[in-house]
Amino acid sequence: MIKTDALIIGAGPTGLFTAHQLKLIGLDCQIVDNLDKIGGQCIELYPDKPIYDIPAVPECTGEELTNNLINQLKPFDIKFHLSERVDEVKKDGDKWIVKTNKGSSFTTPNVIIAGGVGSFEPRKFSVEGHEKFENKSILYSIKDKNIFKGKTVSIFGGGDSALDWAVELSNNCNVNLIHRRDEFRGAQATVDKVHELTKSKKINLFTKFQLKKLNGSNKIESIDIEDDDKNIKNLKTDYVLGFFGLIMQLGPIANWGLNIDKKTVEVDTEKFETNQKGIYAVGDICNYPGKLKLILSGFHEGALAARACFKLARPNEKYRFEFTTSSKAIKNRLGVKSD
């Protein structure tokens, strides 16, 4: 069981700056995020898109913003738990016990939800009966490519994941690549490679087709794919892989006894605390009168939530407001020399 003053759920800009604020006032914290990298929506949805409304930063991309926030955290030692999703938050006296899907567990007086619109999960197929084949013949990510050796694999999607795996698996599997239109959004070099492999019959390419039906009882035997003009083709296949990107799902947060309205969590505007003492929500996921879904609002919310955490983490100490320009204690924490 890991002990910490505050556990932050979500490593997007708001979670990162909240961590900074916690460390600045002398609290320790750890961060859990379901993505395999730091940055949240900034890194997953718009790494290359310029943002124009970060105070004092005329223009920066989602990736630059993330990197700057990570740099700002450099003086501090913060443990990140990436590729882990918080599944359970349970009360234990005046503490919260938090458990992730990878078996990590934490005990903390403060849980700060900086979860954006929820956790990123792969978008799934919508055809009937897909659930029963999931994790057996239908996969949304690949852990061990060797299971496909010598088999027929039908890959759906038009982005880098779909194309990269089509190229890779064409070495020792029979690959069908199916995409809903002629253009691909993957890297041009990979697109060229796919066309080359299609010509040499290493990849069977079906464009303007989508999955229509799954056939088979215990495992998939074949699939029907359909084009815009309702023409149907039947393909024998052992595996079906879907690479449609990630979508955001509120997920387990819905089960923690919080007041939730339209996928957002109600908070007060003093501490950004939810209806549960010691659980806060900041950034896009919180809701209060006048809420703006801006990154700058998340920074403000995180700064106030961090101060609220102090009271529960250090019940016998008094929090004293200090400026970074003048506080000796803060400068010590930052590892900078004081005048």
Partner 1 sequence: MAKITYIEHNGTNHTVDVQNGLTVMEGAVQNNIPGIDADCGGGMACATCHVYVKEDWFDKINKKNEGEDDMLDQAYEPKKNSRLSCQIIVSDDLDGLVVDMPEKQT
Residue 159 touches partner 1, criterion: CB under 8 A: yes
Between 244 and 310, name the residue whose CB sits nearer to partner 1: 244
Among 97, 80, 79, CA closest to 40: 80
The answer for residues whose C-beta is within 8 angstroms of residue 229's C-beta and 6 or more apart is none
CA 137/CA 289 separation, integer angstroms: 47
Between 300 and 307, name the residue whose CB sits nearer to partner 1: 300
Residue 46 touches partner 1, criterion: CB under 8 A: yes
CB-CB contact of 248 with 119 (8 Å): yes
Q: Which one among 109, 158, 252, 302 touches partner 1, defined by CB under 8 A? A: 158
Strands 50-51 vs 246-249: parallel, antiparallel or unpaired: unpaired
Residue with tokens 């349970």: 90
Among 56, 154, 74, 113, CA closest to 305: 113
CA 25/CA 321 separation, integer angstroms: 9
Size of the site for partner 1 (CB under 8 A): 24
Binding mask 202-221 for partner 1 (x = CB under 8 A): --------x-----------
With CB under 8 A as the contact rule, which of the stretches 95-103, 174-182, 232-240, 268-276 interacts with partner 1?
Answer: 174-182
Residue 126 touches partner 1, criterion: CB under 8 A: yes
Q: Which one among 26, 28, 37, 45 touches partner 1, defined by CB under 8 A? A: 45
Q: Residue type for 151, please?
A: K
Residue 26 touches partner 1, criterion: CB under 8 A: no
With CB under 8 A as the contact rule, which of the stretches 28-36, 170-178, 244-252, 266-274 interacts with partner 1?
Answer: 244-252
What one-character DSSP code corresponds to residue 254? G
Q: Which one among 72, 152, 249, 327 touches partner 1, defined by CB under 8 A? A: 249
Among 16, 261, 42, CA closest to 114: 16
Q: Which residues pair with 175 in a beta bridge?
A: 153, 203
Q: Which one among 99, 293, 300, 307 touches partner 1, defined by CB under 8 A? A: 293
Residues at the interface with partner 1 (CB under 8 A):
41, 45-46, 49, 117, 123, 126, 157-159, 179-181, 183, 185, 210, 228, 244-245, 247-249, 263, 293
